[in-house]
Amino acid sequence: FREITRKPIVPDERETERNNRARSAKLRIAEKEDT
């Protein structure tokens, strides 16, 4: 896999106010490489 983003994307303050469970969410993006 090849990393697309170096750091995980975390929800902003507005999102965590609307959705309390989003506090612990971390989005990581990777792409499968052809070998």
- The pLDDT value given to residue 35: 74
- The pLDDT value given to residue 24: 95
Residue 20 Cα distances to 3, 5, 7, 15, 24, angstroms: 28, 25, 22, 8, 9
- The pLDDT value given to residue 15: 96
pLDDT per position as a tens digit, 1-35: 999 999 999 999 999 999 999 999 999 999 999 87
pTM for the full predicted model: 0.62
Contact of 7 with 26, CB cutoff 8 Å = no
